[in-house]
Amino acid sequence: MITAERKPLAEIIDSIDDCRRVLLVGCNECVTVCSAGGRKEVAMLASALQMDFMKRGKTLEIREMTLERQCDPEYVEQLAPFIGQVDAVLSMACGCGVQEVVRRFRDKRIYPAVNTKFMGATERPGVWAERCHGCGNCMLGLTGGICPIARCSKRLLNGPCGGSSGGKCEVSDDIDCVWQLIWDRMKELGIEDRYEEIIEAKDWSTERGGGPRKIVREDLAQ
Amino acid sequence: MEKFEPVIVAFCCHYCAYTAADMAGTMRLSYPANVKIVRVPCSGKVDTIHMMKALEKGADGVMVAGCLDGDCHFKNGNTKAAKRVAFVQKLLEEIGIEPERLTMVTMSAGMGTRFAQIANEFTEEIRNLGPNPVGAALKAQPAADKVA
Amino acid sequence: MTTESVLEKVMKAGHVGVTGECGPPRGCMPDKVKEKAELLRGYVDAVNITDNQTAMVRMSSFAASMILRQVEMHPVLQMVCRDRNRLAMQADIIGAYSHGINTMLCLSGDHMQFGDHPMASGVFDLDSVQLIQMVRKMRDEGKFHGGADIKEAPKMFVGAAANPFADPFELRVARLAKKVKAGAEFIQTQCIFNIDKFEKWMEGVRERGLHKETFIMAGITPMKSVGAARYMRNKVPGMDVPAELVDRMAKTPKEKQAQEGIDICVETIKRVLDIEGVSGVHIMAIEWESAVPEIVKRSGLYPRPEV
């Protein structure tokens, strides 16, 4: 999933401080799963904003809506009946969702209420960790199914640096040394000798090197 | 000046605090009449949004009352509640509302005296804090119209 | 001889190679570079010039290396993968070689988090193994990484680092093997304090015959005080300073600690040079370059051979 975290309230408040009516839009997909921008978080943020404005003697009307998928035009369309009644839209979706709303409603101010973080997985309830960097040319098959691009602080492709200690990364004890994980996995699979195959310099043109990326499925494209 | 009587919402777990409150009543222990008790099946059933809404709608203080550590009827509802209270306290701090307006307390069903004591102490604490700034605004102006 | 590198010549002639280290200044102070280098003149074959070490901005390794060339000393250009992509790296390599810098050390680089610019973006376009491969390709095939021919290719003597003390230990020989396979011709190790562990690592190196394919230079650092010993033991990632050494420093009166540090250093050099497969020492007397002459002399490594 794409993970996110709510922005500091002061920043959110600052972006809509001159507004009287706001549409607060969540998303039912990734940000719901990582508890950043689903229906619940929308309600919490609405309540907090409401209290903040009231406390300062100002009024704010908030309409809460949580779309099935904010990165999909057919769901974004559901905002159309309400968009004319508000001064701005506050989106709790990831950056993709925010921009879909922007693309559909050209003349409306849209602000993000979350910081989009990374593509990750639920490590345990309440904890999400980065897993994929979207490099565009998956090499998990070479590294025992564990990604050094997303999970090594220096994205080293040929083994651990000299700072790996007790299974942890030199950057922080909260970070597992991914090369320790890869090595352990290679041993479990009995493929340790594969470690010594040099992984050639990565072609980053499939990542950001080639500019903004696009996927076109000819059979589906309209 | 009129003495400020704070409105307190107490979410009370059916298995402990609610019974304790009941007992306080039968024991004829006095606690402020402005403590509004909401019976819940478990303190773990109280969501963060309930705490927020209580304050947003004008309560001066909110208390979540659950079972003693390790005594939850549903295993760990009380520890979940405590974490949620801490989460909302941080959010309140962000919007400049005293986090002390929200508190988590624990007791057993037999602690009628403790309930009354806590209710009195918390009310006193909130009285010292003064009215919820949101509540003051609520009184000053009619509720805003909903969008659409 | 594949290159003009003095370090290569010394070790290929069968002598023990000796390198020192010079951290460039944090400002436009060319004299500081010369000052530090002069302390090492005649006592080492080449001087490593660090590249924004510990992720702190310093005079570039390339520029400071040039200053060493101006005073006719031999720099080892260090290059980290943290700060440059492959275009900048290759540009610097041909630039450096054009100024007579013919020896380099390929490193991943300390993470930005440790320096004074934790907000910087880490480049890591290549890793150290891939950097070694690239420099060798430039030299041996006369080609840029992208495949185009280089007119007048840089003939660098290529080195890499190894840390026998980091985890997972069992992977450390394999990691070295990978660097050797990529083309590392000399290896400078992390500072050695735990000699037993280093010996164990060298055993693994010999089993694989890696010491015959590359020159292993043992990393040595003199400790100036018990404070420095404790700092390295507790704070520097990938360092293994045994408690006995810290105790030994602690038991020494404060005014004699620096001397004790030099003694330990000389003892360490003598022990590691007895280990089969060790071809040289890399003395990292960080901000204590003045200690190097005594260390080299007492280790029986002075005078340096003429090659």
- pLDDT at position B148 is 47
Cβ-defined contact of A52 to B95 (cutoff 8 Å): yes
Identify which of A12, A142, A183, A28 has the alpha carbon closest to the alpha carbon of residue A90: A12
- pLDDT at position A63 is 98
Residues 163-192 of A with CB under 8 A from C: 163-167, 170-172, 177, 179-180, 183-184, 192
Cβ-defined contact of A201 to C109 (cutoff 8 Å): no
A88, β-bridge pairs: A22, A109
Min Cα distance A213 → chain B (Å) is 38
* Mean of pLDDT values over C61-86: 98
* Residues B30, B34: Cα–Cα separation, whole Å: 12
Residue A191 has pLDDT above 60, yes or no: yes
Helix axes C257-273, C243-251, angle to 10 degrees: 140
Residue B2 has pLDDT above 80, yes or no: no
Count of residues making up chain C: 307
Nearest to C111 among A160, A171, A183 (CB): A171
Question: What residues of chain A lie within 8 A of the CB of B138, using their CB?
Answer: 54
Q: Does A160 touch chain C (CB under 8 A)?
A: yes
* Mean of pLDDT values over B115-143: 87
- pLDDT at position B141 is 61
- Mean pLDDT over all residues of chain A? 96
Q: Does C190 touch chain A (CB under 8 A)?
A: yes
Alpha carbon distances (Å) from C118 to C56, C83, C114, C232:
10, 13, 7, 21
Residue B142 has pLDDT above 60, yes or no: no
The full DSSP string for chain B is -PPP---EEEEEETTTHHHHHHHHHHTT----TTEEEEEES-GGG--HHHHHHHHHTT-SEEEEEEEPTT--TTSSHHHHHHHHHHHHHHHHHHTT--GGGEEEEEE-TT-HHHHHHHHHHHHHHHHHH-S-HHHHHHHHSPPPPPP-
Cβ-defined contact of A54 to B138 (cutoff 8 Å): yes
Question: What residues of chain C lie within 8 A of the CB of A177, using their CB?
Answer: 167
β-sheet with A61-67: strand ranges across: A61-67, A21-27, A88-91, A109-112
pTM for this predicted structure:
0.92
CA dihedral A91, A92, A95, A99 (to 10 degrees): -20
Cβ-defined contact of C175 to A159 (cutoff 8 Å): yes
- pLDDT at position C235 is 85
Joined tokens for residue A204: 């980053």
Best of A54, A60, A63 to disrupt the B interface by mutation (most B CBs within 10 Å)? A54
Q: How far is CA A140 from the centre of its chain?
A: 21
Q: Does A128 touch chain C (CB under 8 A)?
A: no
- pLDDT at position A76 is 98
Nearest to A55 among B133, B145, B148 (CB): B133
* Residues A14, C267: Cα–Cα separation, whole Å: 64
Q: Does C176 touch chain A (CB under 8 A)?
A: no
Q: Does C178 touch chain A (CB under 8 A)?
A: yes
Cβ-defined contact of C237 to A163 (cutoff 8 Å): yes
Cβ-defined contact of B91 to A86 (cutoff 8 Å): no
Residue A73 has pLDDT above 70, yes or no: yes
What DSSP character marks residue C149?
A: B
Identify which of C12, C24, C2 has the alpha carbon closest to the alpha carbon of residue C307: C12
pLDDT digits 0-9 by tens, B27-57: 999 888 999 999 999 999 999 999 999 999 9
- Closest Cα in chain C to A196: C178
* Residues C80, C126: Cα–Cα separation, whole Å: 10
pLDDT digits 0-9 by tens, A19-51: 999 999 999 999 999 999 999 999 999 999 999
Q: Does C134 touch chain A (CB under 8 A)?
A: yes
* Helix/strand/coil percentages in chain C, nearest 5: 45, 15, 40
Min Cα distance A42 → chain B (Å) is 10
Query: Which run of H or E residues covers position C159?
Result: strand C157-162
Which burial class, exposed, middle or buried, applies to A198 when counting CB atoms under 10 A from its CB (0-12, 13-18, 19+)? middle
CA dihedral A82, A84, A85, A89 (to 10 degrees): 70
Only one residue has tokens 């290529």, namely C158
Chains C and B touch (3+ CB pairs under 8 A): no
- State how beta strands B102-107 and B8-13 pair: unpaired
Chains A and B touch (3+ CB pairs under 8 A): yes
* Mean of pLDDT values over C57-69: 98
Chains C and A touch (3+ CB pairs under 8 A): yes
Q: Is the peptide bond before C118 cis (omega within 30 degrees of 0)?
A: no
* Mean of pLDDT values over C266-281: 98
* Mean of pLDDT values over B130-145: 74
Of A114-123, A167-176, B134-143, C98-107, where does mean pLDDT reach its minimum? B134-143
* Mean of pLDDT values over C290-297: 97
Best of C167, C178, C180, C213 to disrupt the A interface by mutation (most A CBs within 10 Å)? C167
Cβ-defined contact of A170 to C238 (cutoff 8 Å): yes
* Residues A149, C122: Cα–Cα separation, whole Å: 12
Q: How large is the C-alpha radius of gyration of chain C?
A: 18
Alpha helices (runs of H) in chain C, residue ranges in sequence order: 6-12, 30-40, 61-70, 86-98, 128-140, 172-182, 195-207, 226-234, 243-251, 257-273, 292-298
Joined tokens for residue B3: 């003495």
Write down which chains contact chain B via at least 3 CB pairs under 8 A: A
pLDDT digits 0-9 by tens, A43-72: 999 999 999 999 999 999 999 999 999 999
- Closest Cα in chain B to A43: B49
Chain A: residues touching B (Cβ < 8 Å)? 8-10, 13, 21, 23, 40, 43-44, 47-48, 50-52, 54-55, 57, 59-63, 81-82, 85-86
Question: What residues of chain C lie within 8 A of the CB of A188, using their CB?
Answer: none
For chains A and B, count residue pairs whose Cβ atoms are closer than 8 Å: 64
* Mean of pLDDT values over C165-174: 94
Min Cα distance C279 → chain A (Å) is 21
Residue B143 has pLDDT above 70, yes or no: no
Q: Which amino acid is at A102?
A: V
pLDDT digits 0-9 by tens, C219-265: 999 999 999 999 999 988 788 999 999 999 999 999 999 999 999 99
Helix axes B48-56, A39-55, angle to 10 degrees: 20
- Closest Cα in chain C to A194: C174
pLDDT confidence band for B11 (50 / 70 / 90):
very high
* Residues B118, B122: Cα–Cα separation, whole Å: 6
Q: How far is CA A24 from the centre of its chain?
A: 18
Q: Which amino acid is at A216?
A: V
Higher pLDDT, A137 or B146: A137
Cβ-defined contact of A171 to C108 (cutoff 8 Å): no
pLDDT digits 0-9 by tens, B49-100: 999 999 999 999 999 999 999 999 999 999 999 999 999 999 999 999 999 9
Cβ-defined contact of A165 to C166 (cutoff 8 Å): yes
